[in-house]
Structure 1
Amino acid sequence: MQTKGEVEVVVVGAGVIGTSAALALQRSGKKTLLIEQYQFGGSHGSSGGGSRIIHYINTGCSSLASILRDAMKRWIKLDDKVDDQLLVSPMKMLMVGKAKENVEKLATSVQDTCSITPSQANSKYKTKYSEEYTMFEYSDAAVLRADLSRATLLRLYQESGGEVLEQWKVAEIAGGEKDGRVRVRGPNGEVMASSVVMCPGPWASCLLRNLGVDLPLQPIKSRVCIYQRGEFPNIVLLDSTDVSDMVYLLPALDIPNSMKVGYSGVEVHPDDPDPDLSRTEEEVKEYVAEHLSLGDKHSHQDCWYTDTPDKTFILDHHPTFPNIVYAVGFSGRGFKMAPTIGHILACMVTGQDHGFDISPFSASRFSTEPNSML
């Protein structure tokens, strides 16, 4: 396809956040075009895979709490409206960590928690934690069918009249065109839009830098290991010993009788086809051997996320072109918040009140206001 001509809003990036934003914009009455550099439903970005954890436990600033609550409500509402089961809930969660004060702080961010000793947890959940750990049970977590959820959002967007353009890698976004419009240039043409929403995941730095916005974003690639569940219970587990880089375990909903375990990744360039993830995989294996009574590892999945220095996402307008908005740097925590972030982005475009304090997520918190060179 050579070009899509002119639309009211272009959304760049069809991950779960971009697709949520496109759906919210289309439903608000804006003629919207959703652009994706790969085929829809692929695993190249940060939104692929069979399952994601969703919960209310707040590991960030206080403003995040209302976003987490609203997102859960939106996922439940979406799940109720469609035939497919998107949400597996309630799901028992075990939160563990070596820093007692930190674990207790996380427990106070939600209701329905229950303290449990390591020996009690080891007996109940077939774990192998020492007494140096502090932990609690949480009864109101859930697991999302990630690929199915993203596909459902895309289907609803298209049924609402939204346009799509796939396998169209955006090369440049330029503000300040005639009548204040934004030019989006790709390999086979260009699109003019009144507004642009940028949700480009690991490719954010390049596109934003070309717009004069230089942010401390670091793409990370991680390896999630898939194990036979064996007799291990069907629960979610988070180890907050390093709250900025948690170990996580959850059911692999796309693979029968399996659990997925993930940890930290390695810093990469998003176009690097084959980074060395062997150390990441070894760290997961060591953790499982020491703490979890799982069966054999039988496969793995690689995934992307984008870190910020404070592990908190950035949600802002371009400093010179306010009709360009962006959501980047979710540090592996964005999927569960996607419907609410999409709603907020749509309101940032339309000027409507979204009802949330998003000031802690501004780009201005990083030293100085990003400079526009344009």
Structure 2
Amino acid sequence: MVDMVRESFQMWQQLEKEAETKIFRQTGMLLIDSESPPQESNEWDKVFANCDIPHEYLTSKELCARYRGIEFHGNYKVTLEKMAGVLAAGKALVCYQNLLLKHGGKILDGEKVLDIIPKRKVTVKTMQGTYVAKSLILTPGPWASQLLHPLGLKLPLTVERINTCYWHEKVQGTFLKFPVFADVTVRDPVNAERDTVVYGLPSDEYPGLMKVCLHQGTTIADADSRDRPENGNMEDIDILSRYIRHHFPGLDDLPHIVEPCLYTNTPDHVPIIDQHPVFPNIVFACGMSGAGFKFAPVYGKILTQLIFGEHVDYDLSAFRYNRFNEPGGGTMSKL
């Protein structure tokens, strides 16, 4: 995955150059963990050491002295990874869309897919029309199960609704230059066995508001039910409010904006990128588990290599659809 991160970073830089638009802001990333016993290192330490990634370690006291508006007191191990930053997703998508149009592509937005008929040529029926092509790349996001199951692929995917929360700075500009952060020390008071990762991005997307969220949410039946009132879980907002009060006194402890977001999760939180076992002219990617966007350029290249029968630059064994062992997971049924 580290090699994918490196190439993705290079490809985002290439997009910035071609589109003449700034989409990446380097901020660094704080990785907040519990203090390890002496001589014991965590997985991050091993990755940084093996891949020569610039970083430094901070004590809790050094962390609080360097950045305003925060409080982390106690036995924390804080690592500042210096190359990380924030991708402006909206700008990035517009850049790719504009380049697609420039090179003769078409964008047909808002067309609900009704049926996919796989043969030597693939037929796709939507509410607006019927399209026939030699090959098809599917990246259906939270609608993956609905589209892939009729093609004979039964995948162990779950759709999760996340509350994306933005918190108002008490003093505007306090967190403008704050790093991205991920805190793995938080424990869910409702379910003590559940890992609860809090992550955040500096004030940028909405001026004066910092994004702080849980990297998990509530499982829902399907993507189309995202905005139903019964799926509006408030437990995670309560957890975040307590977290903000404890660690970010520079922010108001009630979210100013809450937006729904959808994750499509695999059991191991590794994406599925593969070729249909019966119809090689169909390739698909899904189950990004909330972390797919940063790898989008590389995943797109891999899908292109698969659909054209070219050599794939990466070992895809960890990404195959049939890697899951649980009953019914990653199986191929009869069409």
TM-score range, shorter chain: 0.7 to 0.9
Specify which of 260, 274, 282 is matched with residue 324 of structure 1. 282
Q: What letter is aligned with 1:267? A: T
Contact 2:155 2:330 in 1 (8 A): no
Contact 2:15 2:95 in 1 (8 A): no
Match of 2:109 in 1: 166
TM-score, normalised with respect to structure 1: 0.77
Match of 2:190 in 1: none
1:187 aligns with 2:143: no
> CA, structure 1 residues 308+100, in 2 after alignment: closer, same or farther (shift >3 Å)?
farther
1:333 aligns with 2:333: no
Q: Distance in 1 between matches of 2:41 and 2:89?
A: 27
Match of 1:254 in 2: 205
Contact 2:154 2:330 in 1 (8 A): no
Q: What letter is aligned with 1:182? A: V
Where 1:326 maps in the other structure, the secondary structure is strand
Contact 1:107 1:113 in 2 (8 A): no
> CA, structure 1 residues 87+103, in 2 after alignment: closer, same or farther (shift >3 Å)?
farther
Q: Distance in 2 between matches of 1:241 and 1:172?
A: 45
Alignment of 1:1-374 (within 5 A): 64-89=1-26, 91-98=27-34, 100=36, 104-110=42-48, 111-126=53-68, 127-176=70-119, 180-229=120-169, 230=171, 231-232=174-175, 233-241=177-185, 246-263=197-214, 264-268=216-220, 269-272=222-225, 273-274=227-228, 275-296=231-252, 297-367=255-325, 370-374=331-335
Contact 1:307 1:330 in 2 (8 A): yes
> CA, structure 1 residues 317+241, in 2 after alignment: closer, same or farther (shift >3 Å)?
farther
Contact 2:67 2:178 in 1 (8 A): no
TM-score, normalised with respect to structure 2: 0.86
Where 1:166 maps in the other structure, the secondary structure is coil
Q: Distance in 1 between matches of 2:121 and 2:98?
A: 28
Per-residue deviation, 1:244: 6.8
> CA, structure 1 residues 320+245, in 2 after alignment: closer, same or farther (shift >3 Å)?
farther
Contact 2:135 2:307 in 1 (8 A): yes
Q: Which moved more, 1:185-194 or 1:245-254?
A: 245-254
Q: Distance in 2 between matches of 1:103 and 1:303?
A: 34
Contact 2:275 2:284 in 1 (8 A): yes
Q: Distance in 2 between matches of 1:252 and 1:353?
A: 42
Q: Distance in 1 between matches of 2:124 and 2:35?
A: 47
Q: Which runs of 4 or more aligned residues in structure 1 lie more than 4 Å from their structure 2 counterparts after TM superposition?
A: 242-245
Q: What letter is aligned with 2:334? A: M
Q: Distance in 1 between matches of 2:91 and 2:114?
A: 29
Per-residue deviation, 1:132: 3.0
Contact 1:319 1:370 in 2 (8 A): no
Aligned length: 307
Contact 1:66 1:356 in 2 (8 A): no
Match of 2:191 in 1: none
Match of 1:52 in 2: none
Q: Distance in 1 between matches of 2:185 and 2:35?
A: 6
Q: Which moved more, 1:197-206 or 1:182-191?
A: 182-191
Q: What letter is aligned with 1:250? A: L
Larger RCO, structure (CA 8 Å, separation 6 or more): 1
Q: Distance in 2 between matches of 1:371 and 1:92?
A: 43
Contact 1:320 1:372 in 2 (8 A): no
Contact 2:28 2:179 in 1 (8 A): yes
Per-residue deviation, 1:103: 7.1
List alignment gaps of at least 5 residues for structure 2. Answer: 187-193
Per-residue deviation, 1:245: 5.3
Q: Distance in 2 between matches of 1:217 and 1:193?
A: 27
Q: Distance in 2 between matches of 1:329 and 1:96?
A: 26
Per-residue deviation, 1:234: 2.3
Q: Distance in 2 between matches of 1:99 and 1:181?
A: 57
Q: Distance in 2 between matches of 1:311 and 1:236?
A: 21
Q: Distance in 2 between matches of 1:337 and 1:260?
A: 21
